[in-house]
Structure 1
């Protein structure tokens, strides 16, 4: 633990301006980012009375080795810079927000020629219109099923769309009128896009004009005695009304707002958001927060708003946001959100009336979410702590292995040999630091030599980064850090595509930190190879073990007998998770390489078939198997492919000479 007095800034050296500051550890990694209206006043508060600080703040100061700062012009700039640095560095002592579960959205892919309505989870992408999020996917599907009567937009996957297009027949939804069947040309692309845009407009809350339009058409049809059409339009109106009834009315018809509530305890907090559009609840979402630092409710709300409205001028950002407490700097936050929305945004803490009642409802949801999360998390934390303690005791480690790296090798009969490295920190996967390797020097099926190569490459890189760090720090001040990095060979980014850490900026290194424990998938030979690789590099402060699949035995270097952990052991369960994660990661990489190799080798054998036409063939048929099953006439339908070329393609894929190899109309002898 460092003494904060050793790196306290000199009196008068910190400016009295708005800015953002960073605490770093001995390795140069940023461990905390904060902002301040007055940098001198804020930083002095950390060093003036250490004993009076919150225990978590004391731990942060003792972990840090130095502090630096950047001056900005305004408090809005400080907000923006603080948030961007927190995203970039992922500091361990800053508050961390994460979804309390995976929420589904209703998405309309307006970036496609024929937009598709679908349920989507995960990261958003440009060109897609999103509605929600919703608590359950089935709620989305019920709503979509009702709306497809009026807005028959396609819902099929691209493969289904292409298949129906090839056979010239619509699917079941097209037959029953819940799809306009653009796959067979029943509507033009422009007509189908108009349907999709009207669907989006209805979902966005502009519902009245569609119902009124259908009612007018229904009355007009009845007036000219087209009773069947009038009955169908009546059913369409009922379908729209039923879809609206599924969304609770909570405020006036013209009210658009997001309602944010917070429930917290000293260690954790839960946020819940209700999205209200047109007075109706259109979606709900929740986040769970680990309070690594000591923060007030206003500071939590401020940072949560930055995350919630991260995506610039998002069309989903409303004019009004109801919050449980004013942000720490309400004026700067209002200006920042207004700039992102492209119009004024009002932050308000409701005190009475319908909006206060709605905020109370959202707060009850937040309290329930926090209660459920704590119930699940308590067992998880206990199990992870117990697992690390059991591994430490069983393997005789000096300390609990807070960072573990696991390695596995994958190949098919000695071909396309690859390896994987997965990382667990505090018993949880750290997927951003996973790495994969293409084995260079080993030919054939030799897992022992492959493990030796991978461990050597990984830790040779670690040693080079460690040795380069002081030179980079010194040369950066003279603007020559790039030359130093190049001298150490860091221009080669084959194994991960990341630059090493810059001690001056705190950006991640290629392999971040060395682990406490290296685990290999295998028994005594693989463990011996890993230990030998570390010894050859002079690395003697990292422990090694292996886990063999046959009896789930744990092997240590130099031991004749394995360590046997009980079947119910949390430590064994964690090692199994590591091994299985590394195995799956290696298999995925191996299959990816093998698939590319098969595609290239089989289609490359066709004379005159270039990359563009190979891509066109695979996109048209979807796979090599379907391509092999096609007829020459079907292959010739692909743009740029003639009949003779189609015959050559089939000949190459089926291992038969095509007619083109023997002359027109000639058969092989």
Structure 2
């Protein structure tokens, strides 16, 4: 109802009240009918009053703000000709320690820097502080004066208070959703702790996967989940060095695990290496699990739980148990393990594709005359993959910065002569 009132579209509300009034009258609930009638009159009176008041509002953006802890919400009510044409809500993270002025100034620069237009007036909360610098910059952006100010009375003040209230509601709702997600993550960790008989919650989980194509370009991935959520800053990838002619997933897994825990006392102090996980998840079965355990024994590590998750029917292999643990597919702990495993697979596969494409570029360029390192980089940056370069027209090759037209024509001719395109 709030949005309808603000935008002037109150006819649906009026129709609803009329229907409720008529239904109450038919049922001889006369007190209810009178109450609905009074509400209908009140709505009509409010609409008429607002129509008069908003004639003076004009074109303006009204901004509401609410913050708590590291979170903040900015609400924008854009009014054009006194009528609200839209409503925008923006959730800001990691703003703890910043004052309202700093947050709104930074937000305003980014929002209006990308907006198609800037209104002549912006109404901000009473505690917004000095935003004259923002007004000056937005005036330059608009090419005419932009007034950024508070409203002390009248319709603009009422709208700004309502924008603040909406921002507060949005903030509370976002916090409630965050709390629900947090509760679900804790539930998943509790389920894992119980199912795997762990001493404590697996706050930090590391998962490892190996990816290759028929033994070509083997790579490994390490993904990290902290408090049951991805911690991408700690992700690491490994180009397998011990690969021979025959693919050996067990040896590749042992190499990745060995290289990871050899850096547990990393002299640089990189927390991705020095933070020891509570749980290590190996993508695979008994063979991969045994390879990982053997590799870890070479290092003086505190007690770390290690399991393997097999893809076939999501069996969980645990050291010392002859039979795997089979969890219900509805178990939050298993669902968390699946998310982690799938993320490790995605990360490894992406790195494998990069390596394969880089190798494809290298072998292809070896066949091309007049293409040195600088032009290789230019072509790689421009097309992004071997396939796209091979599919390029002569005109597209001639348009690559740093590659002369004569060289581009020669590359095109050589590619087609080689039967690649």
Normalising by structure 1, we get a TM-score of 0.45
Give the match for residue 650 of structure 1.
416
Give the match for residue 566 of structure 1.
328
Note the alpha carbon deviations across 1:594-631, whole angstroms, 9 max, x for none: 11211221232123344566677778988655765789
Give the match for residue 546 of structure 1.
308
When the two structures are aligned, how many residues end up with a matched partner? 355
2:412 equivalent to 1:608: no
In structure 2, C-alpha distance between the alignment counterparts of 1:618 and 1:277, rounded to whole Å: 48
SS at match of 1:407: strand
Note the alpha carbon deviations across 1:192-226, whole angstroms, 9 max, x for none: xxxxxxxxxxxxxxxxxxxxxxxxxxxxxxxxxxx
Give the match for residue 413 of structure 1.
214
Give the match for residue 341 of structure 2.
579
User: For the structure 1 residues 519 and 619, does the alpha-carbon distance in structure 2 shift closer, same or farther, using more than 3 Å as the test?
Assistant: closer
2:277 equivalent to 1:532: no
Contact 2:64/2:165, CA 8 A, preserved across alignment: no
In structure 1, C-alpha distance between the alignment counterparts of 2:242 and 2:365, rounded to whole Å: 28
User: For the structure 1 residues 639 and 363, does the alpha-carbon distance in structure 2 shift closer, same or farther, using more than 3 Å as the test?
Assistant: same
Give the match for residue 196 of structure 2.
395
Pick one of 241, 246, 262 that aligns with 1:460: 262
Q: Please give the residue correspondences for 1:427-438 in structure 2 after superposition, counting only pairs within 5 Å.
A: 427-438=228-239
* Greater helix content: 2
What RMSD over aligned residues (CA atoms) do the two structures have, in Å? Answer: 4.3
User: Which shifted more, 351-360 or 365-374?
Assistant: 365-374
Contact 1:301/1:323, CA 8 A, preserved across alignment: no
User: For the structure 1 residues 403 and 323, does the alpha-carbon distance in structure 2 shift closer, same or farther, using more than 3 Å as the test?
Assistant: farther
User: For the structure 1 residues 518 and 278, does the alpha-carbon distance in structure 2 shift closer, same or farther, using more than 3 Å as the test?
Assistant: same
Give the match for residue 81 of structure 1.
none
Q: Please give the residue correspondences for 1:106-255 in structure 2 after superposition, counting only pairs within 5 Å.
A: 252-253=57-58, 255=60
SS at match of 2:263: helix
The runs of 5 or more residues in structure 2 that have no matched partner are: 1-53
In structure 2, C-alpha distance between the alignment counterparts of 1:278 and 1:362, rounded to whole Å: 16
In structure 1, C-alpha distance between the alignment counterparts of 2:261 and 2:136, rounded to whole Å: 46
In structure 2, C-alpha distance between the alignment counterparts of 1:541 and 1:554, rounded to whole Å: 19
User: For the structure 1 residues 251 and 583, does the alpha-carbon distance in structure 2 shift closer, same or farther, using more than 3 Å as the test?
Assistant: farther
How far did 1:652 drift?
A: 2.9
Contact 2:62/2:160, CA 8 A, preserved across alignment: no
User: For the structure 1 residues 654 and 289, does the alpha-carbon distance in structure 2 shift closer, same or farther, using more than 3 Å as the test?
Assistant: closer
The runs of 5 or more residues in structure 1 that have no matched partner are: 1-248, 466-489, 491-499, 502-508, 656-669
Contact 1:632/1:650, CA 8 A, preserved across alignment: no
Contact 1:603/1:652, CA 8 A, preserved across alignment: no
Give the match for residue 639 of structure 1.
405
User: For the structure 1 residues 564 and 645, does the alpha-carbon distance in structure 2 shift closer, same or farther, using more than 3 Å as the test?
Assistant: closer
Note the alpha carbon deviations across 1:211-242, whole angstroms, 9 max, x for none: xxxxxxxxxxxxxxxxxxxxxxxxxxxxxxxx
Normalising by structure 2, we get a TM-score of 0.68
Q: Please give the residue correspondences for 1:98-113 in structure 2 after superposition, counting only pairs within 5 Å.
A: none
Q: Please give the residue correspondences for 1:290-439 in structure 2 after superposition, counting only pairs within 5 Å.
A: 301=100, 304-305=103-104, 308-309=107-108, 322-324=123-125, 326=127, 330=129, 334=131, 349-370=150-171, 372-373=173-174, 376-439=177-240
